[in-house]
Structure 1
Amino acid sequence: MLTTTLSFENIHNHGELFANMLRARRELFIVHNKWDLPEALGMEYDQYDTPASRWVVVHDELGKVLAGNRLTPTTAKCGIYSYMIRDAQLGLLDTIPSHLLYEPAPVAETVWESSRLFVSHDVPAAIRRRVHARLVYELSKAARNLGATQCLTLLNANWPRWAARVGVDMTAMGPAMEIDGIMNQVVSMNFASNLH
């Protein structure tokens, strides 16, 4: 099991890995979960897949994607968009409720957003937990390398059951709410105590 953090600066060094990650996202989010998201050439993408973002990918030696995640700085801007959680709060996204945070969404150099976190649905149950833990470990490492002390993420509201297992200090930043039949919640992953 390998991990790679992709950026627009190094994407050319990793062959089809970026495209494979977008294909894996499509397979899970559009085909399996039946979410209505943009797609082209068999890949899922959105307005946050820009040069400002980074993508943490867990994969095998042949480039088969097992899991992935996108990191976007909260200072990012692309037209009217910034980052997904903030844009939802501002009412720019009709698929995510605007009341997802208790406070105004932060905009700071040390705060990044973690989004599109996934483990491919065809990852065998026997290694699924290990793949998930590896992804969370690598995204925290990548975020710290980018200078982040905190990452906001919208995820399944069952996060308290597994946060301690993957060694991440998490705090609820908004209410649990139903999105597409699943209870979700914005949480903050705190990396400040892990910075060197």
Structure 2
Amino acid sequence: MIDTTPRAPAAPGNAALRAMFAARKSVFIDLLKWDLPVLAGQYELDEFDTPAARYLILLDADGRHRASARLLPTEGAHLLGEHYAHLCAGEVPRGPTVCEISRFCLDRDQDAASRRAARDQLVTALAEHALREGITDYTGVADLCWFDQVREFGWRCEALVPKAADPGGRLMALHIHIDAHVLDDLKRGGVYAPLSLRLADDDGEAEA
């Protein structure tokens, strides 16, 4: 399943996925120098890019990647549960209405204003997707700088442990609460930027 904007109706699901995986390589490997696997020298995929993963992908009018995020069900394998449970003061939050956000990616081939707009649209899409799908909680792992930004978006976001617990002291486990007030919270935070979304399968056929 892929959520995309309807402004690129000619881009099939597999093209959107390729654009996203290429953007992830550009950001997380080429720019941030994360030690991650690379497929065919141009795509970043890891052990969690499985059929259980869901993706929110924002495309421009020509089908180019603008922003994306991966959502993983927490009842199965996910990043926080498998590799960063030590960042949680208690048990890792899990459940049928708890989803993990990872690989929040803003395309590098945008100016600062366009990246900010894409960020706000993706954050809003995450909140609207959660309300539509009955997701009550998002979890994730972020460095301290990004955690502070996520918390300032306006939604109810808290650390799962009072301070960073990883050896380098730079990572936080985060917990975002989704309720009926989340869109109003994002409006107050100044990041509410709704888009009309269409639901597509991996072949790009609209489902509804």
The TM-score normalised by the length of structure 1 is 0.77
Q: Give the Å deviation of 1:51.
A: 1.5
CA RMSD of aligned residues (A): 2.4
Higher relative CO (CA 8 A, sep ≥ 6), structure 1 or 2?
Answer: 2
Structure 1 position 84 matched with structure 2 position 79: yes
Q: Give the Å deviation of 1:106.
A: 2.0
Q: Give the Å deviation of 1:183.
A: 2.8
Are residues 84 and 15 of structure 1, via their aligned partners in 2, closer, same or farther at CA, if it must alter by over 3 Å?
A: closer
SS in 2 for 1:29: helix
Question: How far apart in 1 are the matches of 2:105 and 2:165?
Answer: 19
Paired position in structure 2 for 1:53: 53
The TM-score normalised by the length of structure 2 is 0.73
Question: How far apart in 1 are the matches of 2:14 and 2:105?
Answer: 21
Question: How far apart in 2 are the matches of 1:162 and 1:150?
Answer: 14
Question: How far apart in 2 are the matches of 1:85 and 1:110?
Answer: 16
Contact 2:150 2:157 in 1 (8 A): no
Question: How far apart in 1 are the matches of 2:150 and 2:81?
Answer: 25
User: Unaligned regions of 5+ residues in structure 2, if any?
Assistant: 6-10, 183-208
Paired position in structure 2 for 1:157: 144
Q: Which AA in structure 2 matches 1:160?
A: D
Question: How far apart in 2 are the matches of 1:71 and 1:49?
Answer: 10
Question: How far apart in 2 are the matches of 1:138 and 1:108?
Answer: 21
Contact 1:154 1:187 in 2 (8 A): yes
Structure 1 position 193 matched with structure 2 position 197: no
Contact 2:87 2:166 in 1 (8 A): no
User: How many residue pairs get matched?
Assistant: 172
Identity among equivalent pairs (%) = 28
- Structure with greater helix share of residues: 2
Q: Which AA in structure 2 matches 1:72?
A: L
Are residues 131 and 49 of structure 1, via their aligned partners in 2, closer, same or farther at CA, if it must alter by over 3 Å?
A: same
In the TM superposition, 1:30-179 aligns within 5 A as: 30-41=29-40, 42-76=42-76, 82-89=77-84, 98-158=85-145, 159-161=147-149, 163-164=151-152, 166-174=153-161, 175-176=163-164
Q: Which AA in structure 2 matches 1:71?
A: L
SS in 2 for 1:16: helix
Contact 2:20 2:65 in 1 (8 A): yes
Paired position in structure 1 for 2:195: none
User: Unaligned regions of 5+ residues in structure 1, if any?
Assistant: 6-11, 77-81, 90-97
Q: Which AA in structure 2 matches 1:16?
A: A
Contact 1:157 1:185 in 2 (8 A): yes
SS in 1 for 2:86: coil
Runs of 4+ in 1 over 4 A off after TM superposition: none
